[in-house]
Structure 1
Amino acid sequence: MSSQKATISVKSPEYYRLPTNVKPIHYDLIIHTNLKTSKFVGSVTVLLEIVEVTSSIVFHTLNLNIANASLRVVRPGQNVSVYDGHTLKVHLDTELERGTIDLPVILDAGCTAELTLDFGADLTGALIGYFRSAWRHEGKTEYYSLTSMAPTNARRAFPCWDEPLFKATFSITMISRKDTVALSNMNIDSEGPYTSADKNTPDLFKSLSNISLSESGAFSESEWKITRFAKSPPMSTYLVAFSNGPFAYVESSYTSPLSGKVKPLRVYATPDLIHQAHFVLGVTETVMPRYEQIFDIEYPLPKLDTLAAADFDSGAMENWGLIIGRLNTNLLDPKNADALARRDVTSIQTHEIAHQWFGNITTMAWWDNIYLNEGFATLMGSYIIPDKVFPDLKMKSYMVSVELKRAFDLDAKLSSHPIDVPIDDPKMIHQVFDMLAYSKAASVLRMLLHYLGEDNFLKGVSIYLKSRLFKNGVTEDLWAGITEVTGIDVASIMDTWIKKTGFPVVTVIESEDGIFLRQDRFLESGKPDKENNETTWSIPLSLLTISGDGVARVDNTIVLDTREKFIPLDTSKSYKLNAGTVSFYRVLYPGERLVNIAKLATQDAPSFTPEDRIGLLSDALALAKAGMIETSRALDIIQIFRNETEFYVTTSLADTLNAILDTWWENQEVVDLMNGLRRDIFGPMVKRLGYEASKDEPLDVKQLRIGVITAAADANEESVVKELTSRFAKYVKTGDDSHIPPDLLRPTYITAARHGGPIEWQTLKSIISNPTITPSKRSSAIFGICSFTSPSLINQTFDFALKEGKFDFMRECFDEVVRNLGETYAFPYILQFSFQGLNTKKDYEEIKHFFKTKDTSAYRLSLNQILDGILSKAAWKDRSTEDITKWLKERSFVACD
């Protein structure tokens, strides 16, 4: 037993972490895959550095059958083994997901050791570790294999040191059938037949022949091949990837602007889908050289592949050199894809490519700094890069309308947590892959970028990456890099945003000669108590002023870093805090100032950006929900923006109305009145835009059409419902959907479902089940089949969709859902979706009672957020029902006949 292990107390943070007395340097990993039997076996030889004296070796492993273990040790200055070939016993601990080998000898600090382990397991559809995915080929279901190692699932694929700090190099060898393709992180060094000589070579397999791979147990030389991949740079285990299947590919390349090297790019998919891979390949080719220029660091691997997979847990995963993602995030048929699908494929692939630097070259030391990966990749993939190379996507507005909104929504809850959240129990790791790690982190980094200037910010980021090349980094390393460029103490500004929970609302009190500002924590449930209002943030205010002659000026230098502050200002002139909605705070203006700013924002286009208008809508709704203004005041703001022409502002308008409906959905009077308001706003927009895109129509106009038709159909606008259902009915009758534009597939399917029955249900099911359907069309059909209102059809959908439904269904089948999906990234989102409509104190008590007997440790954060959300909705209803009803009735918004 090592001394370190002996001093660790049970359930302390160190209890869950591997000892650091042994450090992996290099893995020789062999994986032999049998797709016909859905099994794999392997052998791994790990070169270890003995850092401290120890008599045991501890590593991660889970659900693997370990057949053999042997050790070879070399002491400093010796070229021969002093302890060789002994078969050792591995003690498995399923709770801690690790194996321990107690050694008969003491290993001295400074020596090296080679640990060899043989292992095997089934290829299941579990979506984690090394698993299988199904596809239809010539009428039969066939399989291919792939990996999803993040965050702690490499241990399910091979024994390893499965923590990001344990970086090592990898030499991966794959044995697979000759008619399949083997993929891994690195380029292929050699590939050829796998012969009996290979099979019996001691340095290839020690005793793996004891585990049979073929159906009969016999070995056929003509059946298999062996593929050896080049040695990788140092990387963490969660980035290791390998895959085997009948893949086809499309390819291109890019020329490094730093070295002049030409580097190949490929996208792989099954042969029936490969024709849809050109779009994502083009995105990759476009952004790779731009990333090299921005970071001033050449992409270090000799190739970059992307694999589109039918079954995958997250949207996509940034494995170094082999990005893997779902079909709908990687494949797109330009002739049959809507405008939003183009945006999503572009931003997701750009996000994953950003990780090739952020996360792969430089990796966070532990999962509490996951935002260093995900926050930066979101900022780069959803904001900086698309804005430079895909300006028609208008990702500046997307950042505010989507990412900032997601962050605000979660961080306004009392149960929120810091971006940099301490993680002791590994069950917490999955839970912190939430909108705080992605959207809030990206938003506060965007705030810092605007405060310092983009060039300074990116130069500082480059210094950070260069200082931690092929190593691990922490928050302080990043701040040091940016501080080196700017001379500004970045840590003093950013620490509260990263290390503290929540965000502020700035209350404005006006006088003739200026504005008095006060910051407090913003909570959707209302004013915080003293205990939850201790943080004072350093807030870059980004103050917009407009002079008497109409000249607009933005001052990015003012920082509110105290609880209260006075700013001299001529309040007889127009002004706005948080210009461009670039900072992470809300603003509570006095009196009619918010309404007046909103009116000005619709009239003075040069001074106010779409991001300003999105921010005003967002603030109005949030302040109303928290009881800081009347909800009728938020409805006044909505009315001001009723003639909006920008897609993302209109989307925010629709989201604001939907948030009110989602809270009052059980109050039929309010629902009918709100739908009247929605029809009044969006109906005229549909008439103006029509249903068909003109040739060469701008992308944002196409997106706008999708948004307003969707909103009008949701509100039961009669002409829109009739138009969409008739188009679907024609498809049902003829089987020809050419009269449904790709941009209108989703609203058409959803509307047909809401107003349809068994025929529509079967039609949508057949679309989803058709293996030749494009991913974007299948996605639209999935949204459609989840939109039926008939209880019997909801039940059918529930069964068809692997028990994914609302609370009544979730309550009945919860244990089965947890068993199938509880360890995936998707589970917290399934949980939240299942309960998102609940809005009464009775609902709150029922959910608390339901989970009282459950082990909630793996989803505790999500559950607390759900409970907070229910209480805040209940309070909002109690406070504002009369106010909303009165406002709507005064304007004569009525239900449709």
Structure 2
Amino acid sequence: MSAPVKTADAYRLPTNVKPTHYDVTIRTDLEKEAFEGIVKIQIEVKEATATITLNAAAELQLSPATLYVSSSSQPITLSQASFDAGTQRVAYALPEELPANTKAELHVGFVGKLTDSMVGYYKSSSPGGIYALTQFEPTDARRAIPCWDEPLLKATFAVTMISRKGTISLCNTAAVEEVPKPDALTEALYAGIKEGEWVATRFATTPPMSTYLLAFANGNFEYLESNYVSPLSGKTRPLRIYATKDLIGQAKFCLEVTERAVPVYEKVFDVEFPLSKLDTLVAHDFDAGAMENWGLITGRTSAMLVDPNSLDLQRKMRVAGTQSHEIAHMWFGDITTMAWWDNLYLNEGFATVMGESIILNKLFPEWRVNSQFINDNLNQALRLDAKLSSHPIEVDVPDANQINQIFDTLSYAKAASVLRMLSEYVGEDKFLKGVSIYLKKHLFANSVSRNLWEGVAEATGRDIPKLMDPWVSKMGFPVLSVKETTDSIVVRQDRFLEDGPAKPEDNETIWTVPLSILSYKDDKPLRDNSAVLDTREATFKIDTSKPFKLNAETTGVYRVLYEPERLAAIANEAAKPDSIFSLNDRIGLVHDAMALAKSGHLKISAALTLVDALRDDEENLVWEGISDNLGIVRGTWWENQSVVDGLDAFRRALFGPLVRRLGFEYSGSDSAATTQLRTIAIKQAASAKDEEVVKVLLDRFKKFAAGDEKILSGDLYTTACVTAVKHGGQEGYDAVYKIFESRHPVASLHIASIVGLGAAKDSKLLDRTFDAALNKARAQDVLYFFSGLSQNIDARRPLRDFFEKNYDTLYDKFATTFTTKYLVSMTYSGFSSQTDLEHADRFFEGKDISKYNMSLAQAQDSVRSKIRWIERSTDDITQWLEQWQKTGTKL
């Protein structure tokens, strides 16, 4: 007999009581690794009730609660409470029903431990000792204080932190001079204040906000400081980056990005930053990349720090993108917040497109982040969304226990790509005007998708809800098939799936598709942004005797399938120095061709021929797309040595000449494009076992390990460490292990050493890597071990054995974090045989997979698609590689 299906109401707090203000006093004892506190919550009774229900996690010990009703002089002691571990709720039974419109104040004491869980109020460690910080998104504020832990239930917060003298306490808002005097309830928390052993810090009351954005921290922090002048009001606001002493020297670049970005956001949104300061705290132990706590951004070292002594463009781009993303949230997410987690994409998709593309392009135009977006976001989104196990951007998640799973590529990258498509279709200026209208209408409130579409519709005069609804409410995206006559093209849309044409039951959605047709008119190239396909099939008049292309600038969230002759003509045109096809067009062509080859719409030989035709391209972002896709092909046929050898030879022929032209020396005077192309070329040539490149890298790494830190650019740390472990024998492995063991303060080098250790081929060295991952790594770094190991085809099955042997340990450690789903995905998605598919089915049979069922299904779909691709295309790829090796030239 199956369990009854729960309705959404079963997972949500009752709506009969609403919090309006929290007064939190919390005492942090870093020596005892514990905290305790009192919360006074002002509530309004919306409907008559005899029960007050709110969230609290099992590990938080609660004292008996007291209720002060405004209409009564006698407090009510609420000693009778029931706790539901599944929903993390505590329910207080009242002696008599409270009528609607009653106002009251609930007082609850609490005690908790500072663990290394990376959720709730937790501890992190540095060479100078431990410190404490919070991570509450999505549902972990309840691990620190009892509260109404749902985004819709906004309230104001006034926090007082009591901590040992000599430490620094931080919160969302600035500290205020006046500290409230202890009352009978909080007196015990103030013990030691008079003796000077402890200090109390009171912070200004916040605007209304959701509990997941509350943040506080305590520790031995240092800071760098700057400020900005509001372009809207002329006010000067302080900006600080906090970190421990060992890290603070690497925080300057992040502070500079903050200083430049905040005023740009104010002007774009036409809404002033509403808090009196903006801080950022860098953490040694952090589960996510970074977190947009209002006024107190937090993040891991790799997302916030740049070594000022090393040229490391990749790291600078990562830090700038991350910080700009989090600053976007100060408006989009913090001021205006989604009503429930099914609209998470409103937060994350928007912060991605604004923070990592639109605004970042204004700050660093030389990085061409709008083009980089195609590789980093659009294509990654299309890959995941091409699976049957995908989900709509706006996804139903009634159960809070499932929320962690939707912090994925679809909520971030696909949502961002859809918003980018909308921005390109209506024009960026009008799009941003619509966003400003939306924000102003929902200041300090909650919103849903419709509210954003209404704002953009008001700014543009267009029917935005009709355009956008299928893109956010339906799963998947279309492939546009193009047939042509002498004076027109016939375009048809069908759902695209990675392993073949969609079945009728999976092909019901009709999207409204901006076609963005680039063609010739009067002998001049013209981009038509008005053409839209909103039926299954339609005809469009263009001159097919000249070059043309759909999805000009690769702004649409779809693939395009041309007839073979047209694809060949497009490839020839794209290879010309004066081609009408832009950088963005060529990036998109590479990704489309490979994806269509994987799905069986196109022969893989045709996709490889397109790549070969682009071998003279000078743009790093085209080469990044090529290297990414060739890696996927190699990773699919990883157990076919003949194909692997042929692909490695092809990669050496493509990337080796680039290395020999660009060399190994990095200079601050190089353009960003040159720096990135050099990094890509060296990485790919080394991976393909180019003997000369491997020899140079081994020599340089040996000198680097001996103390010559200038011999390696930060951009090459990972490639050098991987090469040292892969080709440097025991000596190379030991040198990389020594870097890992030192816990090097430069995050990019520390992570490079971890990824490098995963490249070992020898089983004894792999065992040593596994031991380091399980017993010596910080919790936040375990996923880097899995990343390195999963990229090593010799380690795929040993990694799976390791995961399954230590499953219980890993699950217990990471079940409450985002990490679990990544470990599952990296362990199981790399396989390509039916035997491995069945192995996973057997292992997970009977296990509770509710924390990662989406990631597991997506990993299994990846395996199935590779099985189909191998069955369909092995003869084709083998013949193409044999022919290429015979000619040694373009095919």
Q: Same fold by TM-score, threshold 0.5 exceeded? A: yes
Whether 1:532 aligns to 2:506 is yes
Give the Å deviation of 1:827. Answer: 1.8
Q: 1:69 aligns with which of 65, 71, 78?
A: 65
1:234-272 CA deviation, whole Å, 9 max, x = no partner? 000000000000000000000000000000000000012
What is the aligned partner in structure 2 of residue 204 from structure 1?
A: 186
Whether 1:798 aligns to 2:789 is no
Give the Å deviation of 1:606. Answer: 6.4
Q: 1:90 aligns with which of 56, 63, 81?
A: 81
Q: Report sequence identity in percent.
A: 47
Give the Å deviation of 1:548. Answer: 6.5
SS in 1 for 2:616: coil
What is the aligned partner in structure 2 of residue 621 from structure 1?
A: 594
What is the aligned partner in structure 2 of residue 775 from structure 1?
A: 747
Residues 162 and 189, structure 2, Cα contact 8 Å, conserved in 1: no
Q: 1:675 aligns with which of 644, 648, 667?
A: 648
Find the aligned partners of 1:894 and 1:812 in 2 and give their Cα distance.
48
Give the Å deviation of 1:125. Answer: 0.1
Residues 153 and 210, structure 2, Cα contact 8 Å, conserved in 1: yes
Find the aligned partners of 1:818 and 1:893 in 2 and give their Cα distance.
51
Whether 1:847 aligns to 2:840 is yes
Whether 1:717 aligns to 2:713 is no
1:815-848 CA deviation, whole Å, 9 max, x = no partner? 2111111221122112111123201111111111
SS in 2 for 1:227: strand
SS in 2 for 1:319: coil
Give the Å deviation of 1:169. Answer: 0.1
Change in Cα spacing, 1:809 to 1:20, as seen in structure 2 (3 Å) is: same
Q: 1:185 aligns with which of 172, 178, 182?
A: 172
Find the aligned partners of 2:26 and 2:631 in 1 and give their Cα distance.
50
Q: 2:876 aligns with which of 883, 888, 892?
A: 883
Find the aligned partners of 1:485 and 1:287 in 2 and give their Cα distance.
24
Residues 524 and 625, structure 1, Cα contact 8 Å, conserved in 2: yes
Whether 1:762 aligns to 2:731 is no
Whether 1:143 aligns to 2:120 is no
What is the aligned partner in structure 1 of residue 387 from structure 2?
A: 413
Find the aligned partners of 2:389 and 2:203 in 1 and give their Cα distance.
46
> Comparing 392-401 with 51-60, which one deviates more in the overlay?
392-401
Residues 43 and 119, structure 1, Cα contact 8 Å, conserved in 2: yes
Find the aligned partners of 1:298 and 1:219 in 2 and give their Cα distance.
38
Q: 1:726 aligns with which of 674, 699, 713?
A: 699
What is the aligned partner in structure 2 of residue 117 from structure 1?
A: 108
Q: Counterpart of 2:153 in structure 1: which amino acid?
A: F
Change in Cα spacing, 1:485 to 1:796, as seen in structure 2 (3 Å) is: same
Residues 673 and 893, structure 1, Cα contact 8 Å, conserved in 2: no
Change in Cα spacing, 1:219 to 1:250, as seen in structure 2 (3 Å) is: closer
What is the aligned partner in structure 2 of residue 369 from structure 1?
A: 343
Q: 1:511 aligns with which of 482, 485, 502?
A: 485
Q: Counterpart of 1:51 in structure 2: which amino acid?
A: K
What is the aligned partner in structure 2 of residue 745 from structure 1?
A: 717
What is the aligned partner in structure 2 of residue 662 from structure 1?
A: 635
Residues 175 and 203, structure 2, Cα contact 8 Å, conserved in 1: yes
Whether 1:786 aligns to 2:764 is no
> What stretches of structure 1 move > 6 A for 4+ residues in a row?
none
Give the Å deviation of 1:526. Answer: 0.3
Residues 72 and 115, structure 1, Cα contact 8 Å, conserved in 2: yes
Residues 341 and 403, structure 2, Cα contact 8 Å, conserved in 1: yes
Whether 1:134 aligns to 2:125 is yes
Find the aligned partners of 1:89 and 1:224 in 2 and give their Cα distance.
34
SS in 2 for 1:485: helix
1:468-505 CA deviation, whole Å, 9 max, x = no partner? 00000000100111111111110100000000000000
What is the aligned partner in structure 2 of residue 477 from structure 1?
A: 451
> Comparing 776-785 with 15-24, which one deviates more in the overlay?
776-785
What is the aligned partner in structure 1 of residue 791 from structure 2?
A: none
What is the aligned partner in structure 1 of residue 670 from structure 2?
A: 697
> Comparing 102-111 with 163-172, which one deviates more in the overlay?
102-111
> Comparing 98-107 with 592-601, which one deviates more in the overlay?
592-601
Q: 1:810 aligns with which of 790, 803, 806?
A: 803
What is the aligned partner in structure 2 of residue 246 from structure 1?
A: 220
Residues 35 and 111, structure 2, Cα contact 8 Å, conserved in 1: yes
Residues 756 and 788, structure 1, Cα contact 8 Å, conserved in 2: no
What is the aligned partner in structure 1 of residue 154 from structure 2?
A: 167
Q: 1:258 aligns with which of 232, 250, 269?
A: 232
Give the Å deviation of 1:547. Answer: 4.4
Give the Å deviation of 1:762. Answer: 2.9
> Comparing 446-455 with 791-800, which one deviates more in the overlay?
791-800
SS in 1 for 2:711: coil
Give the Å deviation of 1:740. Answer: 1.7
Residues 148 and 241, structure 1, Cα contact 8 Å, conserved in 2: yes
Residues 308 and 330, structure 1, Cα contact 8 Å, conserved in 2: yes
What is the aligned partner in structure 1 of residue 778 from structure 2?
A: none
What is the aligned partner in structure 2 of residue 55 from structure 1?
A: 50
What is the aligned partner in structure 1 of residue 33 from structure 2?
A: 38
Residues 127 and 246, structure 2, Cα contact 8 Å, conserved in 1: no
TM-score, normalised via structure 1 length? 0.94
What is the aligned partner in structure 2 of residue 489 from structure 1?
A: 463
Q: Counterpart of 1:103 in structure 2: which amino acid?
A: L
Give the Å deviation of 1:695. Answer: 4.7
Give the Å deviation of 1:726. Answer: 1.2
1:140-198 CA deviation, whole Å, 9 max, x = no partner? xx200000000000000100000000000000010001110000000001378x9xxx5
Change in Cα spacing, 1:477 to 1:695, as seen in structure 2 (3 Å) is: closer
Residues 154 and 237, structure 1, Cα contact 8 Å, conserved in 2: yes
SS in 1 for 2:766: helix
Paired residues for 1:217-616 under 5 Å:
221-547=195-521, 549=523, 551-603=524-576, 605=578, 607-616=580-589
Give the Å deviation of 1:98. Answer: 0.7
Residues 258 and 292, structure 1, Cα contact 8 Å, conserved in 2: yes
Find the aligned partners of 1:520 and 1:438 in 2 and give their Cα distance.
24
Change in Cα spacing, 1:223 to 1:612, as seen in structure 2 (3 Å) is: same
1:529-574 CA deviation, whole Å, 9 max, x = no partner? 110000000000000013474x221000011000000111111111
1:748-805 CA deviation, whole Å, 9 max, x = no partner? 1111111133333332232223355311221222221222122221221122123754
What is the aligned partner in structure 2 of residue 3 from structure 1?
A: none
Find the aligned partners of 1:51 and 1:160 in 2 and give their Cα distance.
17
Find the aligned partners of 1:610 and 1:795 in 2 and give their Cα distance.
44
Change in Cα spacing, 1:830 to 1:886, as seen in structure 2 (3 Å) is: same
Residues 676 and 894, structure 1, Cα contact 8 Å, conserved in 2: no
Q: 2:92 aligns with which of 75, 78, 101?
A: 101
Find the aligned partners of 2:62 and 2:827 in 1 and give their Cα distance.
39
Residues 152 and 163, structure 1, Cα contact 8 Å, conserved in 2: yes
Give the Å deviation of 1:30. Answer: 1.0
Residues 213 and 292, structure 2, Cα contact 8 Å, conserved in 1: yes
SS in 1 for 2:64: strand
1:644-691 CA deviation, whole Å, 9 max, x = no partner? 221111110101110100000111000001000000000000000000
Give the Å deviation of 1:890. Answer: 0.9
Whether 1:838 aligns to 2:800 is no
Residues 67 and 105, structure 2, Cα contact 8 Å, conserved in 1: yes
1:488-525 CA deviation, whole Å, 9 max, x = no partner? 11010000000000000000111112111110000001
SS in 1 for 2:273: coil
SS in 2 for 1:857: coil
SS in 2 for 1:482: helix
SS in 1 for 2:25: strand
SS in 1 for 2:398: coil
